[in-house]
Amino acid sequence: MNTTIPANHAALAAAGTDAATRARGTAWTRLAAAARSAIIYDPRDATAPHGFATRVVARALGPQRAAAAPMLVHYAMRAFGLACLLTILLVSINLGSILSDIDDEAATLGDTPIEAADLEPGPAADAAVAGQ
C-alpha cells in the first residue's frame, strides 16, 4: 500500500489555517491515496468456487421442494366442497317453497290440453299434417 502523499496534496493540506481544515485535508488525501491504490474488480476474472457445478447438478436432480401452489389447490378444493354442500343444503331447505310455487303456477294454467303428436310415418301422420 502506498502511504506517501503527493506533494501537491500535502501542500493543500498544510495550507489550511485552522486544525479542522488541516484534518479535513489530511483525511481527504489519505482517502484519495487509498482509492488510487485500490484493486479494481474485473468480472472477467471471476470464476465459480470449487464444487459449484456439482452443487448445481445435485440441486437440479435432487428432490423438489414443496411449493405453495399445491397447498393453495388443497384449500381451493376444500372451499369448492364447502360451496357445493351449502348449495345442496340451501336448495333442500327451500325445496318445499319451490315445489309449492310450481304447483301454484300449474294451477293457474287451468286445464290447458296438452296433446302428443304422432310422429311415426304412416297414413295417420300424413292426415294429421294435411289437416293443419
Residue 117 has pLDDT above 50, yes or no: yes
pLDDT of residue 1: 47
User: pLDDT, tens digit, for every residue of 46-100?
Assistant: 788 888 889 988 888 888 776 777 778 889 999 999 999 999 999 889 888 888 8
Which residue ranges make up each domain of the chain? Answer: 1-40, 68-109
- Greater pLDDT, 9 or 33: 33
Residue with cell 483525511: 27
What number is the average pLDDT over the span 105-130?
64
Element containing residue 83 per DSSP (H, E)? helix 68-109
- For 17-58, the DSSP string reads SSHHHHHHHHHHHHHHHHHHTPPPP-GGG--PPTTHHHHHHH
Residue at 89: amino acid letter: L
| Nearest CA among 103, 107, 105 for reference residue 95 | 103
Residue 6's pLDDT band, with cuts at 50, 70 and 90, is low
Highest-confidence segment of 13-27, 42-56, 106-120: 42-56
pLDDT of residue 85: 97
| Nearest CA among 30, 36, 3 for reference residue 22 | 30
